[in-house]
Structure 1
Amino acid sequence: MTERADIFVSTEWLAAHLGDPSIAIVDGSWYLPTAGRNAATEYAAAHIPGAVFFDIDKVADTTSGLPHMLPSAELFAATVGAAGISDKQTIVVYDGAGLFSAARVWWTFRVFGAKDVRILDGGFPLWKTEGRPLESGLPSATAKTFHATLDSDAVRTIDDVKSVIADHSAQIVDARPADRFRGEAPEPRPGLRAGHMPGSHSVPFGEVVANGRLKSADDIKSVFAAADIDPSQPIVTSCGSGVSAAILSLALTTIGADKVSLYDGSWAEWGSKADTPVETGPA
């Protein structure tokens, strides 16, 4: 079973390992357009020394028409290898929100076969609050080799989700805010219908995060129990575009769930189709 200690590292630990060639530090910051923040600009202005920037909108299948869909294994390997990241390193991911897009980057590296991927507990906000070292600019990288193989069991397609709804073979958990799940609030992306997938459960990602950090295992268990989710059974996480769904995947992993997959297209895909079933109201 994957424990919380197997996923997170402390700011103290990372500070002690700055410059260690066996460690790759990744700034995985990404923000919703409504946040009014530019992750690449913020990275150039200040980041953890040695960190490389991982842009989920560029390390992606840009031909799909959907936001930050997973790229091919070949493109992923070439991109992160050129950035100086090897699959043999311990990869430590952080973001500027504390815990938001770092979960998606953590999940992506794991999906492509990285054996040791960690998340910085408290993220960049805690690092800065503690007055730890920063650097600016765009550092050069020495290319490394990353052997990438896609774990197809960890990723669900729209056809997979249609099958899950039809045969009830997995629990679908939606990380979007509850009012969007119920269809009471409009989607931030134009052209999407409001509501949720039939039979899905609402677990807004904010229910498992507090002050930029993942809540305790007991709190997380309580959240999923309240949503009538059994972590021992197969689960598919979803959200608006596959980012906050990874936070639920992360949270479930820390409480021992080992049959968790993520619907990469999420509502950006499902809600854009005319032939996909949509329900409104509470789960």
Structure 2
Amino acid sequence: MATKPADGDTPLLVSSAWLKEHLAEAAGVGNKLRILDVTWYSAKNGKDDFDRSHIPGALFFELMKDVENTPLFPRNLPPPEKFQEQVRSLGIDNDTHVVLYDNIPGKNGFFIGGRAFWMFKHFGHEKVSILDGGLAKWIADGYNTTSDTISVNKGNFTAKPNNNFIRSFDEVIPLLTNQMEQIVDGRSSDQFNNTAGGYVGGHMPNAYNVPFESLLDSSTGCMKSPEELRKVFADSGLNENKPVVTLCNGGVSSCSVMVAAMIAGFPQAAVYHGGWTEWKQKAAPEQIIQP
């Protein structure tokens, strides 16, 4: 099974069964398919998990490699040339189909998987998918893991930043009034409503709260279906015919909300990179709603 976007090109999501069927393509000489474990933790090295156990044929992608974080951007992006360098080292060409997965407990493969997806899209790689359910679903479906590593030939991927997938502070400001793009806040309702103790909460004017976890199906370990996602967004007040801009605290879970909006069929979805971390430091007092 593969969940395809409206244009019918590379699927946004692939199932573990689909990946198992295509596994040989990742182990071959060419660069037709590349599987990347993108697991990242703020307090430990995700590669340690990868070294112990990963999907056969997978390589490890270092999410925060060459990233210089700042107080406004605690989860910043690497320079395009550095992203390109790492991606090429993983045997990825411009036309390689990249399948991403993570192993973050309880996030159904979409916490870091979504962030890596956004990065690949932002830097101009079109053929990228997320493994629905991540490594946990792969194992639950009875498929093997390994500690073996593979060697690949250097790829020729060229980074060409695509700003359709990113919004800056200055680009978001006009949306507060013209609402040409709907602002979707993926933080918890406590953070959105400023009821989380010890946390500077609140939200932007006219923002819609769609907590990241509300998009996940705990019974299957996967993302909710397109129909279920459309209902979640509609119940939150969103118009499915208007573009969306997503945000969270620092630009991680907002990326998965963006992916969910794409699956649901919104005409355009982008991420406000600075998120609430930047907004609460730069916005005018009247632009911070604290119920």
Give the TM-score category using the shorter length.
0.7 to 0.9
CA distance in 2, matches of 1:64, 1:137: 36
1:172–1:235 Cα contact (<8 Å) kept? yes
- Structure 2: which 5+ runs fail to align? 1-5
Cα distance, 1:71 vs structure 2: 2.4
Would the alpha carbon gap of residues 4 and 176 (structure 1) be closer, same or farther in structure 2, given more than 3 Å must change? farther
Cα distance, 1:207 vs structure 2: 0.9
Q: Residue by residue, what CA displacement relative to the aligned partner does 1:151-185 show, whole Å, maximum 9, x if unpaired?
A: 11221011111221143322110001110111111
CA distance in 1, matches of 2:10, 2:149: 31
3-state DSSP class of the match of 2:282? coil
State yes or no: 1:231 paired with 2:240: yes
CA distance in 1, matches of 2:51, 2:178: 48
Would the alpha carbon gap of residues 153 and 134 (structure 1) be closer, same or farther in structure 2, given more than 3 Å must change? same
1:59–1:79 Cα contact (<8 Å) kept? no
2:14 match: 9
Would the alpha carbon gap of residues 59 and 48 (structure 1) be closer, same or farther in structure 2, given more than 3 Å must change? farther
3-state DSSP class of the match of 2:126? coil
CA distance in 2, matches of 1:3, 1:244: 25
State yes or no: 1:82 paired with 2:89: yes
State yes or no: 1:185 paired with 2:196: yes
1:147 match: 158
State yes or no: 1:194 paired with 2:205: no
Cα distance, 1:38 vs structure 2: 4.3
- Structure 1: which 5+ runs fail to align? none
Q: TM-score, normalised by structure 2?
A: 0.85
Q: Residue by residue, what CA displacement relative to the aligned partner does 1:219-257 show, whole Å, maximum 9, x if unpaired?
A: 111111111111211211001111111111111111211
1:70 match: 77
Which of the numbers 261, 264, 268 marks the counterpart of 2:277? 268
1:134 match: 145
State yes or no: 1:119 paired with 2:130: yes
**Aligned letter for 2:128?**
V
3-state DSSP class of the match of 1:271? helix
Q: Give aligned pairs, total.
A: 273
What value does the CA root-mean-square deviation take over the aligned residues?
2.3
1:173–1:236 Cα contact (<8 Å) kept? yes
1:244 match: 253
